[in-house]
Each structure stands twice: as C-alpha cells, then as structure tokens.
Amino acid sequence: MSILKSAGAGLIALACAISSAPAQEVVVKVGIAKALATAGTMIAVEKGYFKEAGVKVVIEELDSSANVMALLAQGQLQIIEGGISVGYFNAIERGLPITIVSDRVSTPLSHKLLVRPDLADKIKTPADLKGKMIASNGPGSVTTYEVAKILAKDNVSIKDVDIKILSFVNMGIALTNKAIDAALVIQPWASQYVEKGIAKVFADPDDYADPKPLTIAVNMVNTDWAAKNKDLMDRYYLAYSRGVREYCQAYHGGKNRQEVIDIIVRTGLEERPEVLANTPWPARNVSGRINIPVLLDMQKYYINEGLATRELGVEQLVNNQYVDAAAAKLGPFTVENANSKLEGCR
C-alpha cells in the first residue's frame, strides 16, 4: 500500500509539473538597437533559457529606439531594447501604453567624447568646446544628454555647440575629414578610432555624470500587453535575467567568457573576436533595476531644452516588478572571478 501511495504521489507531482509548464512557446516580438549590450538577450536565446520558459523570441533590428515608440505602443512589438531618448518621455506624455521595465546599460559605459588629434592641444576643458561641431547619434538621444553633462561642468549649454547627427560609423569618417571637431562615441568604435589615430579621448561621460550610476539604455514594454500577460512577462524576465547574469560573469572574466564571446560572434553582435578581447564591454545593473534619479534628471534636461513639456511621476516612467521577481527567484548574484576589479555588472 505504501508503495502504491508513493507511486500515486509521484504521478500526481509529475502531472502537476506538466500542467504548470507552458504548453507551447509563445511568440514575443522584441525590437533591438543592435549593440554588445544585446548579449544578455542572445545568451538567453542561444542557451535555451527562453525556450525553457515557453517563450519564442522574434527579434526585429532597430536603427534607434527613438523611432519605434509607435510600434511598441501599437503592439507590433511587445518589448524594445535601446537607449533612453526624449521620444520615450514624449510617448508617455501622449498617454501611450509603454514603460521601462529593466536596465540594459549602466555605468561604466565606456563611452568617450573624442576630439580630432589636431585640436587636442586646443581643447583642454569643456569650455573650449563652445562653438565647436560635436557629433551625436540623435538630437534627443541619450548621447546628446551625455554631451550636455560634460559641457555643464563649465556652465556651457548644449545650445552653445553645434550638434551634428551622425551614425557611429560615420563619426570616424567625419573626424578623419575634419567635418566635425568632436564626437560622443560608444564602444567598440571609441577605442578603434583612438587606436587608428583619428581621434583622442577628451572626456569620459561617467566622470561628469551626476547622479550616478548613469543608466542610458533599457528595456521598454507595451503595458497593455504586459497587463494581459503577467505570467508570460515573469517567465520572460526570469529567462532574460539568467542571460544577463551570464553576461556579467563573462564581463568580469569568468570561466564562461569564451562561451559568451562565441555567442556574441555567432549572433553577429560583434563579428571580430579580437575586438571583444581588446575593448571594454558595457556594464549593466545585474538586478535589472533602473537608477531613478538619473531618469528624472534626463527628463529635466529634455524639458529644459524644450524637447519635452512636463514632469512625469516615477510610477509612470518605471516598473521594476518583473526584474524584482526574477531576482527573488534567482537569489543573490556573486561574481565568480574574485580577482575582478571592474565596476558595474554586480
């Protein structure tokens, strides 16, 4: 009898486990501004974490998250990964159903404000940038905000410089041709331009950021869709957080670093392994939480520049519930490589 009871209990437990598991993979369309920071997502895809969670991630590549708020609000995309632009604040002002749910890139950013080599001896302080042509990848982009934070050190306004909108690839060409004086450049281009001798580092935005840490890229979600799919969101961000943790272990030189490099190369985020070995990786908050003071400071900046019109409450701008739930299930994060002195990704 005891054996039968034991067998029966086992069958019941198995049945419960099967019934609680997702019956099939649910498609989630994710718009991604392709960058090394996407590695956390790609790790979760490649290692089957999303599949285990019953999620089939369909990725749509974006030029800039600033241009796709409407697609997110209309439900054509469910999630966007990209920079925090003025478009985000404007979309919420218009009552569109979107919100930030996770960090994607935070201090240290390894972004650099580069200047032309022939100007390096003339541009010594932020005040020396007044009247200069500085490249950014968007007028209301987070990189322009970073430029503004550097200029503010010497009470120089963004209106006191000439912002030129260029892609990061074209910034190198413009520096070489002397079409611009400086550029706010992300990795790996920042290190490559310095190595090629076409630019010199003038400033690191992290050194001028206040408040810190500086959160510049995030995950945004369609709130109407999320409200109808809370269980799916919880499963998505549990899988996503597993990928993020693996990225952070590799960031700190963990034993999985080569595996992660292989995934990054295989998925086309960066096709040159030597670049991954020789340039800094973007950091992130491993918990997925957003630094709220930074978000509010960005909002104030956009309002002051006349790009946004009113202050929005924190509850309208951020929802941490999904990453908090994932962190609670996964438990504390510990960097495997105790010798790592790198900041971020902790």
Claim to verify: residue 157 and residue 93 sit in the same structural domain: no
Residues 6+ apart with CB under 8 A from 231: none
What is the token pair recorded at 13? 């437990």
Claim to verify: residue 200 and residue 238 sit in the same structural domain: no
Claim to verify: residue 82 and residue 124 sit in the same structural domain: no
Q: How many domains does the chain have?
A: 2
In a domain, 126, yes or no: yes
How far apart CA 167 and CA 307 sit, in angstroms, is: 21
Cα of 266 vs its chain's centroid, Å: 20
In a domain, 40, yes or no: yes
User: Which among 164, 179, 208 is the end of a domain?
Assistant: 208
Give φ, ψ of 305 to 5 degrees: -85, 0
Residue type, 122: K
Claim to verify: residue 75 and residue 121 sit in the same structural domain: no
**pLDDT value of position 64:** 58
**pLDDT value of position 66:** 54
Claim to verify: residue 37 and residue 173 sit in the same structural domain: no
User: Which among 154, 182, 208 is the end of a domain?
Assistant: 208
**pLDDT value of position 15:** 39
Claim to verify: residue 220 and residue 87 sit in the same structural domain: yes
What is the token pair recorded at 45? 């895809």
How far apart CA 103 and CA 142 sit, in angstroms, is: 14
Strand locations in the chain (E): 26-33, 55-62, 79-83, 98-106, 112-115, 133-136, 162-165, 182-185, 200-203, 215-222
Indicate the SS3 state at residue 218: strand
**pLDDT value of position 20:** 47
In a domain, 18, yes or no: no
What is the token pair recorded at 229? 């799919």
How far apart CA 183 and CA 294 sit, in angstroms, is: 22
Tokens 């086992």 belong to: 10
Claim to verify: residue 246 and residue 269 sit in the same structural domain: yes
**pLDDT value of position 22:** 55
Claim to verify: residue 64 and residue 183 sit in the same structural domain: no
In a domain, 7, yes or no: no
Claim to verify: residue 222 and residue 323 sit in the same structural domain: yes
In a domain, 2, yes or no: no
What is the token pair recorded at 57? 């991630």
User: Which among 157, 177, 208 is the end of a domain?
Assistant: 208
Residue 204 in contact with residue 112, Cβ under 8 Å? yes
User: Taking the chain, what is the end-to-end CA distance rounded to the nearest angstrom?
Assistant: 52
**pLDDT value of position 138:** 83
Claim to verify: residue 289 and residue 306 sit in the same structural domain: yes
Positions of the chain with pLDDT under 50: 1-21
How far apart CA 126 and CA 156 sit, in angstroms, is: 7
In a domain, 9, yes or no: no
Residue 82 in contact with residue 35, Cβ under 8 Å? no
Claim to verify: residue 224 and residue 290 sit in the same structural domain: yes
In a domain, 248, yes or no: yes
Claim to verify: residue 234 and residue 310 sit in the same structural domain: yes
What is the token pair recorded at 232? 């799916």
- For residue 238, give its domain range: 24-106+214-330
CATH of the domain at 87: 3.40.190.10
In a domain, 141, yes or no: yes
